[in-house]
Amino acid sequence: MDIASVPLSVRALWEFRRHARWADVIHYQYPWPFADVLYFLWGRGKPAVVSYQSDIVKQKWALKVYAPMRECFLRAVDSVVATSPGYIRSSDVLSRLPREIALIPNGIEESEYPQPSAEAIRKWRNRVGEDFFLFVGVPRYYKGLHTLVEAANGFPGKVVIAGDGPGVAALQEQIADAGLSNVELVGHVSEEDKMGLLHLCRAFVFPSHVRTEAFGMALVEASMASRPMVTCDISTGTTYVNEEGVTGHVVPPEDPERLRSAMQDLLDRADVAREMGEAARRRFDELFTADAMAGRYEALYREVAMARR
């Protein structure tokens, strides 16, 4: 069952206790308040690492009840890890913790992504063309897609939005009301189709405007595909993955004029867009691969395990 979007399980209490007996280090993900309960019941005898993925942004009423336990949990564990420097600075919770916060960015395994076939690329080229500006993701409230549609009004290029969810109807209405012919909603796409779209696009646009967007794994995928990015500065990991002036442009949130200007720059200057895409790939190789993430966590596990001896 779920309470305030937190999955709970009675069986997990006993399963956790069983596995905690043999584990050398226990790795928890935050936010998941049930993990705090597991830690205080059965986990305190083992070294503990917490990956702090995001502040709790939406469930404010529940946070008032949960906050004291959260503080005890984050102070008690052996190490707290954040995924970007910006999040360490901007999170009220992390900035108040009387301890050093480790930095380990999220990473992905490139071999798990399919290479788009010639047929898939041809299909999408026939449907949406090339050099468009792409968004891929579930159109949730914090994705800022209303601003992207506003920015498309008067933009000479094409915008392609891939993804399905509860926000699609509102986007369709906004596009129709504005009479836009340069914005296309293509719905849910497969992994191969996503990679095909990334292959064809000029740049990846990610206009998330709320701190709920804590990192932006879609940006890591765009970096892997050597695509420049346009993002919004919301003091989270999005401006760590996308470095202003190096891998793309960073603009203020909910500012359609600045968003349009950034897109226009990448549309007008193909050479700059290509150079930024190449820089994004180099940054991916350095920071955001699964191997890089795993190596950093392995070193941290050894460190906290040795400190307990």
Q: pLDDT of 13-30, one tens digit each? A: 889 999 999 999 999 999
Specify whether 148 is located in the same domain as 218.
yes
Say which CATH number the domain at 117 has. 3.40.50.2000
DSSP state string for the chain: -EETTEE--HHHHHHHHHHHHH-SSEEEEES-HHHHHHIIIIITTS-EEEEE-----S-HHHHHHHHHHHHHHHHHSSEEEES-HHHHHH-HHHHHSSSPPEE----B-GGGSPPPPHHHHHHHHHHH-SS-EEEES---GGG-HHHHHHHHTT-SS-EEEE--STTHHHHHHHHHHHT-SSEEEEE---HHHHHHHHHH-SEEEE---STT--S-HHHHHHHHTT--EEEE--SSTHHHHS-BTTTEEEE-TT-HHHHHHHHHHHHH-HHHHHHHHHHHHHHHHHHSBHHHHHHHHHHHHHHHHHHT-
Specify whether 50 is located in the same domain as 159.
no
Specify whether 89 is located in the same domain as 169.
no
What's the pLDDT at 64? 81
Low-confidence ranges of the chain (pLDDT < 50): 4
What's the pLDDT at 62? 66
Domain that holds residue 7: 2-107+290-307
Specify whether 143 is located in the same domain as 204.
yes
> For all residues of the chain together, what is the average pLDDT?
94
Q: pLDDT digit string (tens) for 229-274? A: 999 999 999 999 999 999 999 999 999 999 999 999 999 999 999 9
Specify whether 103 is located in the same domain as 158.
no
* Total number of domains in the chain: 2
CA of residue 89 relative to chain centroid, distance: 17
What's the pLDDT at 22? 95
What's the pLDDT at 5? 55
Specify whether 17 is located in the same domain as 120.
no
What's the pLDDT at 59? 66
Q: pLDDT digit string (tens) for 184-194? A: 999 999 999 99
Quick one: which of 10, 48, 9 has its CA closest to 30? 48
Specify whether 137 is located in the same domain as 252.
yes
Specify whether 35 is located in the same domain as 131.
no
Specify whether 167 is located in the same domain as 264.
yes
Specify whether 18 is located in the same domain as 117.
no
Specify whether 256 is located in the same domain as 295.
no
Specify whether 258 is located in the same domain as 297.
no
What's the pLDDT at 65? 80
